[in-house]
Amino acid sequence: MLPSDSLAKRSRAFVEQLKRTQIYRDYEESYRDTTGLPINLRALEAFDLPHHKDPNENPFCALMAKSNRSCSACLQLQKRVEVEAQLEPKTLKCFAGLCDSAVPIRVGENLVAFLQTGQVLLHRPTKKQFAQTTRQILKFGTDVDLKQLEEAYFQSRVVSKKQYDSILRLLSIFAQHLTILSNQLVVREEHAEAPSITRARVYITDKHTDDLSLDEVAKAVNMSAFYFCKMFKRSTGMTFTDYLARVRVEKVRNLLLNPHKRISEAAFEAGFQSLSQFNRVFRKIAGEAPTVYRAKLHGDGAA
């Protein structure tokens, strides 16, 4: 497990990279257009309101964000959602009855980011509910036009619990795709490496389905095995064995996007020599068993 400060820094870097990808931009636009809800890819320890100034920001929440006291209450809710969503999607309600949800994105054993959505009611707003909300707002000492606030509150997006559960399921599936993309960024990340190491990466990518050895790769880039091992670890931060395992696991994850592909078939196609080795390596890198990953991805336990 990475130290918290290193993990937070890495999380911010991942989020910046992921937000620039075409797949994220396309999904973000489609999600907003389809659901009418806000969406945000949020780094760990990001101390801000996740949906502020989103095109689909709830008008009531936008007014609340202008007040320091009510803004503080929203930030506290965000913190609670993140704490409770470390391993699985979590939904909490704010003082006004609006739901906010976070879906974790993990790379191996490390939590790296959250997909967040919300600012939605699961039932039609009522005068009684708004009166209770108003009392809490007055306790905050918030200086706001209550008539304007009431109009904004009754403009809140309303979906049924069943609809919202389906929305969160779609968000969870996309989180799995972002996990794959995050792992690919780790594999492809380069650190001003020597041309020979770059060639070695390419060779490994091309030959990872073979029974590949360190000696073979070192020979392919005209280096001694000892020197190659030392240079590869210095450049990539991983041993040759760990790097090859990560490339193969990413191949498996891509293959499993096909709901008809069996886990055992994907493992052997990616270059793993035995299922026991594959299960051990996949769990170490992905942070969960391949059957659990497959179940989350497609809603079944097919092996």
What pLDDT does residue 50 have?
A: 85
Two tokens at 137?
């707002």
Given this model, what pLDDT does residue 151 score? Answer: 94
Amino acid residing at 72: S
Q: What pLDDT is recorded for position 3?
A: 41
Q: Which structural domains are found in the chain, ordered by start?
A: 4-183 (no CATH), 193-298 (1.10.10.60)
Per-residue pLDDT of the chain (303 residues), as tens digits, is: 444 556 677 788 888 888 988 889 999 999 999 999 999 999 888 777 888 889 999 999 988 887 766 667 787 887 888 888 888 899 999 989 999 999 998 877 778 899 999 999 999 999 999 999 888 888 877 677 888 989 999 999 999 999 999 999 999 999 888 888 877 776 665 445 688 988 999 999 999 999 999 999 999 999 999 999 998 988 888 899 999 999 999 999 989 988 889 999 999 999 999 999 999 999 999 889 999 988 887 765 444
pLDDT at res. 65: 82
Beta-strand relationship, 110-121 and 99-107:
antiparallel
Burial 138-174 (b: 16+ CB within 10 A, else e): eebebebeeeebbebbbebbebeeeebeebbebbbeb
pTM above 0.85, yes or no: no
Q: Which residues contact 97 (CB under 8 A, 6 or more apart)?
A: 121, 125, 129, 133
Instruction: Find the DSSP H helices in the chain.
Output: 4-19, 22-35, 59-64, 68-84, 127-140, 146-153, 161-188, 195-207, 214-220, 225-236, 240-255, 263-269, 275-286, 290-298
